[in-house]
Amino acid sequence: MVSIVSKLCRTSAPPSVLIIRLMVGLVFLSEGIQKFLFPADLGVGRFAKIGIPSPDVLAPFVGGVEVVCGTLLILGLLTRLAAVPLLVVILVAIATTKIPMLFEKGFWVMAHEGRTDFSMLMGLLFLLIAGAGPWSLDGRQHEPE
């Protein structure tokens, strides 16, 4: 088990990856917190409005995933592992909100409204591939002694 975690944490990415980790992590952390602070607009109410099943269960669950995994990205702890559930979250968000918008309002409206989702998707894919970089808790696992 330790070797699996070690392989997941391994990173040869440059220190500048910190910028991507902070961008993606802070957006997800903020969005997760807001699902609890403003449930009618951004949590259960929003999930019900867009047709997500069991919104009273899934909205707090997704909010919790965003808070926990966003925090892990910020810290650079288990970065690749934390990116996976967030990829699921963002792909569901795109499928349930941006794809319908494409058919209802056209490409340019969808492209404008989806810019944050697309940026988060690309940032998560980058972190999944590159890892957390040396300025992270993952990177500290591999410092020379």
Higher pLDDT, 96 or 4: 96
The pair of structure tokens assigned to 60 is 């707090």
Residue-wise pLDDT for 58-98, tens only, equals: 999 999 999 999 999 999 999 999 999 999 999 999 999 99
The answer to whether residue 5 scores a pLDDT higher than 80 is no
Name the nearest CA neighbour of 13 among 81, 79, 83.
Answer: 79
Q: What is the pLDDT of residue 6?
A: 79
Domain spans in the chain, listed from the N-terminal domain onward: 15-139
Name the nearest CA neighbour of 120 among 69, 60, 75, 77.
Answer: 69
Do the Cβ atoms of 15 and 133 come closer than 8 Å? yes
Residue-wise pLDDT for 11-64, tens only, equals: 889 999 999 999 999 999 999 999 999 999 999 999 999 999 999 999 999 999
Q: What is the pLDDT of residue 10?
A: 84
The answer to whether residue 145 scores a pLDDT higher than 50 is no
